[in-house]
Amino acid sequence: MPPGPPEGSEELAELVPELTPMFPNAAPFLARFLPHAAPSHQGLTQHFCDLHAFLKYLHEEGWFGYLHAVLGDQSAYVLVFEGRTVTAAAASATGEQALGELLSLYEQGAAISAYPLDAVLAHVLSGIGSRAWKFNLTEDFTGLHARPTGAIFYARGEIVATMPSTLPYEGAFPAPLRPQTLILPRSLAGWAHHQYTLTLRGRDALNAITSVHQSFRAQHGQPGLLFLQAINEKLSPAEYAMRSDVALHDLEPLVQDFLKSGCIREG
């Protein structure tokens, strides 16, 4: 039997997978580097799927992947990490504004499809925004290195994948250590950006010796108390969601209930 190849002689291309871009001709940076994947959900429309309920489902599942909304020649792309929307891109927007664009397109009749991703790839992609930075490969670099000849996916300094998608210049999109959740822009979630003030009943709800506290705790539990305390500390729901890593759509019914029960008021 002829001897096999010497150990360690495999080519890099054989060891590292080359990903196929899903949207190779897309203009937004995020879309350009999204890898091809089979959809887990396809063609969702507002006629039979409440988008906020779907986002809540993804959050509860701790899902990794991306969403693509398309309406005519308009598209929006949102990356989901651990069930949280962490970065987004549309034709002329990134971040929160692009997330708002996806919701706006959906309300106008766009179809949305969801494509699952490996958690490591989702983390690498989470740093893609509106601009690339100077590339500096450190031993713990996680992110995307884009070049005119292709892109390299790094996780903790190691190459985990390549992709033929390019940028006209060399640059890097470092991934944050823990990607932050995007919050809807004020135009779509004004309630989340409002300041609320505790009423006397709300202050009683935080006072452990009152009967109001006991009933409040029985109804809302520790999460409700923590949120009410944050409101007392002058945090808006959007700021609290960012700091505590709570999904914004989980806070909206609490705000409505706090207002209805007289624990808080606007302003």
How high is the pLDDT of residue 63? 96
List all residues 6 or more positions away from 212 whose beta carbon is below 8 Å from its beta carbon. 201, 204, 205
How high is the pLDDT of residue 14? 65
Q: Between the CA of residue 3 and those of 7, 8, 9, 88, what are the distances in Å?
A: 11, 14, 13, 51
How high is the pLDDT of residue 100? 87
Q: Are 89 and 14 in contact (CB under 8 A)?
A: no
How high is the pLDDT of residue 25? 86
Whose structure tokens read 């004004």?
190
How high is the pLDDT of residue 13? 52
Closest listed residue to residue 167, CA positions, set 152, 149, 144: 149
The DSSP letter of residue 92 is S
How many Cβ atoms sit within 10 Å of the Cβ of residue 28? 22
- Stated pTM of the model: 0.73
Rounded to an integer, what is the distance from CA 15 to the centroid of its chain? Answer: 30
How high is the pLDDT of residue 9? 34
162 vs 15: CA distance, rounded Å: 11
How high is the pLDDT of residue 7? 42
217 vs 198: CA distance, rounded Å: 16
How high is the pLDDT of residue 189? 67
Return averaged pLDDT per consecutive 10 residues of the chain, 267 residues in all: 40 77 93 96 89 87 96 94 93 88 89 96 94 89 95 96 93 92 71 88 93 93 93 89 77 90 90
- DSSP strand pairing (65-71 vs 74-81): antiparallel
How high is the pLDDT of residue 192? 81
How high is the pLDDT of residue 3? 41
Q: Between the CA of residue 144 and those of 131, 157, 255, what are the distances in Å?
A: 12, 11, 39
